[in-house]
């Protein structure tokens, strides 16, 4: 099996290398692609150096079985035909194809089956904040239909790429050294701050990031669920946290919810207040599962429940989810 990573130099691209190696993904050949800035660089995979090829409109993808692409929406759209035309399955991490008809949007714990039908040879990987939320919501949807969800996010710097993570570090160094703080990757200084804007604003006052949580959740869950989100960038490094309230058709008790989260695939229940056990981004970094804790009844609504969800944004929120889609399809061959 021949596998390609497109956009290998980015934070998610680098994570693809680690995840494929760590999971011993059954590939025989790995080909790396990048822009002119990263072409020629070399990365280690299974103790062998692989040189990054320039992504071009040519026949380089002929014979490639799966391409994991994480190169931004514009590049994904521009190269989709080049990548897929000889039958390569493109599993794309950008937002370009997520809401398109005939392109499945997949979180394996929730709608793996959707991945089997990909007439355009493209499968879309959802947005990071959506992935970790739907893994949690799906566990409760099995008990009672979820009508609505409120979610406040606490999103790590990693969502803006590895240069953004470096910038955050640097802002702390500058603050401690009493130097002028440089701001490039975020609209404002993030160190010692919060920025209640992720992605650009849409007409209804919500950001694109917030509307992704509305639209993608409905598509993945095949549900009429309504979601109102407030997305906030916080100075954490690579795991996103979410404070969620849901309203279900019939009341779900805390005990039922705990049991459902406990047995759900891809979830670790971490909910023991007496021992100060709850998920925190610093300790969820680099971990595969989605962590759930702080489960309580909604004090305003008998049919409501609230909980706290943390997941590694680069792993389950991006690279790992895409690789799990591929793994699922391999079991169906």
Binding residue positions for phosphate: 98
Q: Least distance in Å: CB of 275 to its own copies?
A: 10
Q: How many helices (H) and strands (E) does the chain have?
A: 9, 13
Residue 317 binds its own copies (CB under 8 A): no
- Cβ-based neighbours of 282, under 8 Å, separated by 6 or more: 236, 237, 239
Is 57 designated active site?
no
Beta bridge partners of 123: 91
Cα–Cα dist 320/83, whole Å: 21
Radius of gyration for the alpha carbons in the chain, expressed in angstroms and rounded: 20
Angle at the Cα of 10 from the Cα atoms of 89 and 27, rounded to 5 degrees? 40
Residue 120 binds its own copies (CB under 8 A): no
Site string for its own copies, 293-312 (x = CB under 8 A): xxxxxxxxx--x-x-x----
CB 125 within 8 A of CB 71: no
Neighbours of 202 (CB within 10 A): 12
* Contacting range for its own copies; rule: CB under 8 A; set: 38-46, 62-70, 107-115, 239-247: 239-247
Question: For its own copies, which residue of 48, 49, 176, 180 counts as binding (CB under 8 A)?
Answer: 176
Residue 144 binds its own copies (CB under 8 A): no
Give the count of residues interacting with its own copies (CB under 8 A).
59
Q: Least distance in Å: CB of 301 to its own copies?
A: 7
Cα–Cα dist 262/270, whole Å: 9
Is 128 designated active site?
yes
Residues of this chain that interact with its own copies (CB under 8 A) are: 147-150, 152, 154, 169, 172-173, 175-176, 187-189, 192-197, 201, 204-206, 214, 226-228, 230, 232, 234-237, 241, 243, 245, 254, 273-274, 276, 278-283, 293-301, 304, 306, 308
Would you please indicate which residues are annotated as catalytic (active-site) residues? 128, 240
């Amino acid at each position: 099996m021949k596998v390609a990573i497109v956009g290998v130099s980015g934070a998610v691209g680098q994570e693809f290398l680690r995840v494929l190696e760590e999971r011993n993904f059954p590939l025989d050949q790995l080909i790396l692609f990048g822009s002119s800035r990263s072409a020629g660089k070399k990365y280690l995979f299974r103790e062998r150096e692989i040189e990054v090829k320039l992504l071009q409109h040519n026949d380089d993808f002929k014979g490639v079985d799966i391409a994991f692409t994480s190169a931004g929406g514009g590049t994904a759209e521009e190269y989709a035909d080049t990548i897929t035309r000889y039958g390569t399955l493109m599993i794309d991490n950008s937002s370009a194809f997520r809401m398109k008809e005939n392109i499945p949007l997949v979180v394996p714990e929730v709608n793996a089956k959707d991945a089997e039908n990909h007439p355009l040879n493209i499968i879309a990987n959802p947005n990071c904040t959506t992935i970790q939320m739907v893994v949690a919501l799906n566990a409760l949807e099995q008990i009672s239909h979820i009508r609505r969800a409120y979610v406040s996010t606490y999103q790590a710097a990693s969502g803006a790429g590895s240069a953004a993570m470096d910038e955050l570090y640097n802002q702390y160094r500058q603050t401690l050294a009493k130097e002028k703080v440089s701001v490039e990757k975020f609209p404002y200084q993030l160190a010692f701050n919060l920025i209640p804007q992720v992605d650009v604003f849409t007409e209804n006052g919500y950001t694109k990031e917030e509307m992704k949580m509305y639209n993608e959740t409905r598509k993945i869950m095949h549900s009429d669920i309504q979601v109102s989100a407030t997305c906030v960038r916080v100075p954490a490094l690579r795991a996103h946290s979410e404070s969620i309230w849901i309203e279900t058709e019939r009341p779900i008790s805390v005990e039922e919810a705990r049991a459902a989260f406990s047995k759900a695939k891809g979830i670790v229940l971490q909910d023991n207040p007496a021992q100060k056990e709850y998920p925190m981004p610093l300790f969820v970094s680099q971990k595969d599962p989605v962590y759930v804790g702080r489960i309580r009844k909604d004090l305003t609504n008998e049919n409501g429940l609230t909980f706290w969800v943390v997941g590694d944004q680069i792993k389950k929120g991006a690279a790992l989810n895409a690789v799990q889609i591929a793994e699922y399809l391999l079991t169906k061959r």
